[in-house]
């Protein structure tokens, strides 16, 4: 039987407590790593385009786009930090130490929670815009939206700290050997996380969007009937209502994909089994969750004309020309 002394260890000077180095990846594993790395790069690139477009062009400095900007920042962090770290956890020893392992999970929890919070804020914004359009400009201001975005990130970071407080007290308490990075979630914590970061926010989002679609459709039908009875010429009001309906439909697609990506992650909690969250046992559901961060900007590119125009200006470097901030 092979002894530890003869095996390749993550930390050779820790013969009795070091993990073994992972075996060299097979050809299938290499293809998987390349695919994961490509998704990570694509996520960073697409969300960076959203951030540059909204930040640079003045006409895009609206309350809704500010919320989309916050969502793009959280998605960018997923592609820039979470995805590469997950690849590292699967294919190599964790060499950054127990404290950085705790920081990794803290950042991961914060980013995911902020994504959920941003989705809730976006749904509230669309609800106010369509269901209470007259009061929307006075109630939903840039200053209030900035405050809400800051509170979203602060609450997400605070929740992340609560999620890893045991690891801060005793870093590496769940690791079986040095060179490993994992956290064990019991049933009680899993249920609490399920309700706080998934069930309650998603319920709010779905209810608000159902109300948005009902009101938007009824307004569009009423306006079309009024215009047909008065004149055959289209009006700006009808165009505006169609634009609002299109925006609500687009964000509804975002929410639907969000649900499809997040539901498998929380399925073990619903079933009622203790879940051991590690790179090897939860790789599929974790990456399905992360892929949502890559899908959001793709949806914007497909549905939002301002995004397609902005990407064209950015890729062709017209963004560097004087006065380009007024181009969109």
State pTM to two decimals: 0.82
- State the Cα angle at 323 between 320 and 328, rounded to 5°: 90
26-51 tens-digit pLDDT = 777 788 888 888 999 999 999 999 99
**What is the rounded CA–CA span in Å between residue 97 and residue 181?**
9
Residue ranges covered by each domain of the chain: 63-292
What residue has token string 């319920």?
A: 203
Confidence check: pLDDT of 314 > 90: no
124-139 tens-digit pLDDT = 998 888 888 888 889 8
Range 260-291 burial, b when 16+ CB lie within 10 A, else e? ebbeebbebbeeeeebebbbeebbebbbebbb
What pLDDT is recorded for position 6?
A: 41
Contact assessment for residue 101 and residue 94, using Cβ atoms and an 8 Å cutoff: yes
Confidence check: pLDDT of 210 > 50: yes
Contact assessment for residue 301 and residue 72, using Cβ atoms and an 8 Å cutoff: no
What fold does the segment set 63-292 form as a domain?
Answer: Rhopdopsin 7-helix transmembrane proteins (1.20.1070)
pLDDT band of residue 2 (cuts 50, 70, 90) is very low
What pLDDT is recorded for position 4?
A: 44
48-78 tens-digit pLDDT = 999 998 988 888 888 989 999 999 999 999 9
What pLDDT is recorded for position 1?
A: 42
SS3 readout for 273-323: CCEEECCCCCHHHHHHHHHHHHHHHHHHHHHCHHHHHHHHHHHCCHHHCCC
136-166 tens-digit pLDDT = 889 899 999 999 999 999 999 988 888 787 7
Residue 9 is classified by DSSP as B
pLDDT band of residue 243 (cuts 50, 70, 90) is low
Helix pair 283-303, 27-56: axis angle to 10 deg: 40
What residue has token string 């505006």?
A: 240
Contact assessment for residue 260 and residue 67, using Cβ atoms and an 8 Å cutoff: no
């Amino acid at each position: 039987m092979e002894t530890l002394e003869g095996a390749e260890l993550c930390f050779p000077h820790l013969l009795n407590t070091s993990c073994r180095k992972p075996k060299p990846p097979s050809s299938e594993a290499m293809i998987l790593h390349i695919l994961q790395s490509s998704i990570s790069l694509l996520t960073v690139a697409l969300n960076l385009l959203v951030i540059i477009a909204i930040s640079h062009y003045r006409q895009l400095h609206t309350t809704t786009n500010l919320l989309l900007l916050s969502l793009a920042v959280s998605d960018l962090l997923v592609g820039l930090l979470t995805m590469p770290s997950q690849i590292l956890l699967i294919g190599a020893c964790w060499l950054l130490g127990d404290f950085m392992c705790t920081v990794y999970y803290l950042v991961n929890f914060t980013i995911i929670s902020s994504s959920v919070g941003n989705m809730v804020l976006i749904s509230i914004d669309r609800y106010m815009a369509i269901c209470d359009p007259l009061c929307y400009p006075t109630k939903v201001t840039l200053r209030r939206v900035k405050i809400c975005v800051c509170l979203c990130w602060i609450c997400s970071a605070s929740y992340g700290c609560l999620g890893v407080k045991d690891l801060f007290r005793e870093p590496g308490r769940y690791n079986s050997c040095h060179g490993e990075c994992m956290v064990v979630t019991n049933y009680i914590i899993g249920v609490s996380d399920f309700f706080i970061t998934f069930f309650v926010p998603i319920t709010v989002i779905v209810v608000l969007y159902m109300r948005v679609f009902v009101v938007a459709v009824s307004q569009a039908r009423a306006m079309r009937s009024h215009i047909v009875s008065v004149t055959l010429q289209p009006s700006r009001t009808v165009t505006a209502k169609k634009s609002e309906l299109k925006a609500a439909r687009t964000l509804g697609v975002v929410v639907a994909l969000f649900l499809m990506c997040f539901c498998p992650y929380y399925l073990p909690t619903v079933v009622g089994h203790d879940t051991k969250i590690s790179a090897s046992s939860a790789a599929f559901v974790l990456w399905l969750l992360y892929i949502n961060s890559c899908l959001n900007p793709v949806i914007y590119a497909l549905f939002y004309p301002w995004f397609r125009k902005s990407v064209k200006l950015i890729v062709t470097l017209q963004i560097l020309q004087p006065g380009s901030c007024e181009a969109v």
